[in-house]
Structure 1
Amino acid sequence: MNGHLESDIPIRLLVIEPSLNEAESYISTLRNAGLVIHPTIVSDNEKLLDVTDGEQPDLILLSMPEQKEQLETTTKLCRSAFADLPCVILYKDQNIDPETLLQAMRDGARDIISANDPDHLQLVIKREAGDLQIRKRLAITQQKLKEAEARCTTLIASSQDAIAYIHEGMHMQANSTYLEMFGYVNLDELEGLPILDMVSPKDHKSIKAFLKTLGDDKQELRVECQNSAGETFDAKLEFSPATYDGEPCTQIVIRNDSQNKELEQTIELLSNQDGQTGLANRQYFMGKMEQQIASLQESGGSCSLYYIVIDNLSEIRADLGIIASDNLLKELAQILLSNTNEGDLLARFGDHTFTILSATSESTDAEAMAEQLRQVIEDYIYQTINITCCIGVTLLGEDISSSQDFINRAYHAYESAKNNGGNAISLYDASEMQASYGEDNTGDEARINQLIEHALENDRFRLVYQPIVSLQGDSRENYAVLTRLLDKNNEEILPDYFIKHAKQGEQMAKVDRWVINKAIEELAEQRKEGRKVNFFISLSSAALEDEGILLWICDCLRKYKAKGAWITFQIRDKDLRNHIQTAKKLIDGLKKIKCLLAVDQFGSAPKAETLLKHLPVDFVKFDFDLMEDLATKQDRQDYLNELNALAKSHNVKTIAMGVEDANSLAILWTVGVNYIQGYFLQEPSENISYEFSSA
């Protein structure tokens, strides 16, 4: 089959022709066919010798001399100087002896062409140049294959997996790990031995049957192996077709799982651990607490929860600096750890918040433990600074339905201790807390609403940022913008709590505007510093009903000289469905200023495709609930796969939120999710400093 010529590749053509005019005629004929010709013209053998030391031509076009002996001399010179180079011969004498032409072909000419047939010349040169390109590519490929095989051989030799090659059941080659596994010193002892000698006699029948069924696909078999001393061990053998020294054979790999297990254990440890203090992190603590609650409620038992916040850390940090205050938190973590009962779980729950899940189940004992912890911290002096804390304590009761309820009670108890002036403890009291925090208590709603109003007027909200990292190689710096409410002591109030009251008090639209303004201001600053940061900003249902919100966004962009393309506005699936007409109007306006749209909590409602059909969606963020126990729940994996495929079919990129462990990450990678967000990467932080390049 003729090779296909890439016509834009130049052909270095050596033309051996006594007449310069005729040589130029041949070259012109070839160029007229669209070929790029770089010619070298020689008129005789003497001049041919002068060019043999120069640049190697691609093709030789030889005008047949009148003397037969001269033709033989010229072709020998060409073969000697340019081995494996195609030579095409042109003859002018139309009455030439056919035997002469045949002999020229026998001597290596690729073709014989009449000088009076320019069309034939063009076709042959195209063919030969195409074939030459293929031969060159083949030579390069063969060299690459040779190098790859050499690298592969080196890797196999140094691999910690046991690897061997067999042909018709007999060993051909094996690496040192394989030899050591089966008790052999060198390859000579193994060559020619059947694979059956490596398998316990009880599994001979199964491996014989297995080998008969081997095809072109990779297959696995678990058998009991035995070494040269007759000692047995269980192993999984992976069989795949291979070649060795150019001969077809079968490769056997016995994996060394010890390193993988160590790596998995390391990843699991890191995913459950706070990197700064070495304590359990928030997501691990919440998961363990959820398990503990379920277990104790089933058995009728109880436990206690301690919510510990270091007093005035923001002032301490301002005085000491970030590094010193970080060291302070490390030392406090060790102090708490040394004063925690065996079996209790201590975690770093937030920036300067620690939590303890304890088996202590009596209120007096719990109060005593809290007081002991408070006293230990008060007695600690760090660089001449007295450190104090507030501790909220609660006991597990029958009316607690989830870990979130449990932590909320401990937090409310902590607030009570803090409101008493700091450096105090407080035990959760249902009747007392009902008066301060009960959902049905109008006084509490009024108090929170006043706090929100004060925050709006005095910038008492805080923005924190959590990276959204690509699993597909996109290095853009995307961050989710999250909101925190600060109380009078600069401590955070849990978002789930204050947002609920903001909605009830019809203040959410104001909160949305505050967040948009501050987020765009920060985004513009980041861009001025040369960082390609993009923000995902949430809009509540109140924003969808706010007729002036689009104008507000435009004003903020203009004020801070920011661009809409830097921002993705995310709106909950539920809110979009409940306000579809106003949502469409707002989204149309956002699209005109180049903003992007993300559907938050996608998949939480039936008929997920509805919004993708009717709205210009750029991203979907999967519902948090999908991530819970993802690694162990096949139905959630299947649903996630379905949702991801649905989004991809609409050219929508997908984001998994709430990623808290390596197992979930592996599944998301397999599913093909585009981005991930969660505590596994980084907890929300005031600093925009995530290293995307190392993710």
Structure 2
Amino acid sequence: MPTPSQHPTLLIITSETSEAERLMATLREARLAEHNRVIPTAEHLDKVIAEREFALILCCGYDPDIEADKVLATYKRLKSDVPLILLADPEQWDAQAAKARRAGARDIVRRADPEHLRLSVARELADWRARQASAALSERLRQCEHNTLRVTELSGAGVAFVQDGLHIDVSPLYAQLFGHASPEDTLATPLLDLIAPAHHAALRELLKASAPGVSKTVTVLDITCQRLDASSFPARLLATPSEFDGEACLRLIIQPLNAAPAVAPPTSAPAPVAPNAPAVATEATPIASSDSGCGYGLAPLIAEIESHIDAQRLVTRPFAIFFIRVVKIHDVMRDMGLSIGLELLDEFSLSLRTLIAERGTLVRVSEDGFGLIVDHLDELGAQALANELSTQARLAARAAVQDATAADCQIGYFLVSDRASAPEDIINAAHRLCIGHRYAGQTPAPSTADAQVTESSEETLARTLDYALQHDQLKLVYQPIISLMGDNQENYSVLLRLLDEEEHLLDAADFFGTAIRRGQIEKIDKWTIRAAIDVISQQRRTGHNLSLFINLSEDAFRNPDTVLWICDCLREFDVRGNWLTIQFQEEVVIGNLASIGKLVETLRKIKCRVAIGHFGATERPEMLLQALALDFVLLRPELAQGLADDSAKQQRLLQLATLAREFNVKSVVTGVEDARALTVLWTAGVDYVQGNFLQRPSTTLAVQA
């Protein structure tokens, strides 16, 4: 199954990488696409399409190494729903147009007509987005129908699909309501045989409403049902136009009125239905969806988190967020059945709500997971509450399919104070800790000795930082990022140094921890951004094609004012956004993907380039490339150490460089320390290199020979 993507990815069939770059430059200029993959032939087109979801295929039919007829034949044979646009030389256009249309191509574009190409691609990408939206809505509809069936099953209602008065599918409970031994017995019985004759006229009207072309309505009827043994019972019927196996039908939900209602009752309770009373149509009401006193889904939990955070992402009320996962429930469902498992989950939800009482806000976010927010908890308080819930929140005794001494739920918690990232990232942090993953934003607690050293020296260092910010004693140093592919742009990575009282330059690692703990890191980031943009302005005025890479801290990207500060600085020094590359570390991105995703979109709007550093640490780095529109990835420096003698590192580096190239992202290998590594990097197709072997960080921008 192809991997879904939030951003459109184009598949370009050409033997010339430069031609693919030219096409992407045309589309990127029109803001139509950012990502692409290039293949030289259509030989393995089916496999490529199966591996990843593509929004569009562009075939360069004018490429002398591409046999357009073979590509079209392969595409026609595959019957793929990915649209294809054929690019042809003007003199070949007429000859290839008919073949392209017969093969199912959506358009054929002349090679020298970029405007036609942009219009055609824009149309196909609009269709792609419409298909994405349709698929998402279909999935939501499927989930809603699933939840509806769960509610009806738990409430004692039966469900049936009816066409032309005949049952085409029924639930076991529906069959039981009418005294049938199995659903198959009910399928052989017409619907009208199960309903008292007084209601037949109303039911015939419902059946007419399910015919194609007839206006769709939702109706609720109070009726009398007849069992197999000739006894009867009053019931409420909810009739909804639906589809079964692609054919129009009615979905019926029948709820005996002496059981809990499957639909929310009207304000005044309905009068009992006499056996021969006519059916009364009432206005349809939503199916009840209560979850034992707590909300359901991520939306209530996100809203609760947002209520703790102001417009500047500052936390107005510190809180702890817990993720509670019922680990045994899937075994229960496997051994005891879905209906019992769902019933036990509802009982667990009620007991959990009772246990928490008024201490916090509980939300059920998934089938087996709950989110809990409690205000003003410190580490000890959060640990104590987690232990209490783990010990006391238990499934009912009949669910003891495993060791009864083991906890029924896993709990992870995350403390939020100061400035917060996006609510989705906060929820993800608690979830990762619940399932045993270390959250990227965590830092290990310092030892007692370290704490003593920090306490005795941190105040002095904090005062030095304040003085440096006020008197311009922070210094930028630069390390060149050198192209292996002949790029004439002067790229430099910006590093920060602090001039201490003895006029020694301290590395960023020596003071960043203090700056974060003392709330000075945002001021340092703003100083760095403004100073770097000033340098770009000065160098550009003297004719240098300079571009700088700046690494932002976690606190900076959580602050919505950061982009405004960048915009103000760009405007102040008359610098273009694409001369500046904003860099984030991969370990930070993983824990804050929602926050950084929004920031990246904003940075793209002001033309800034975006990079991820320490790339390749995760098991599936392609997920980051799919989720974020990136320009560069800077690989972990560990990959370059001993590279010439380590075949495993060479293979990994080749994989990452190839992956970046598939997404049209430039790769940078950092930490290069010896000349032998350069041969390997060149062979792997790496775009840029950086390291002390090439040049150590310097206060000057001149590349040393």
Q: Which TM-score band applies after superposition, normalised by the shorter structure?
A: 0.3 to 0.5
Q: Which has the higher contact order (CA 8 A, sep 6+)?
A: 2
- Larger-gyration structure (1/2): 1
Q: Tell me the TM-score normalised to structure 1 length.
A: 0.36
Q: Flag the structure with higher helix content.
A: 1
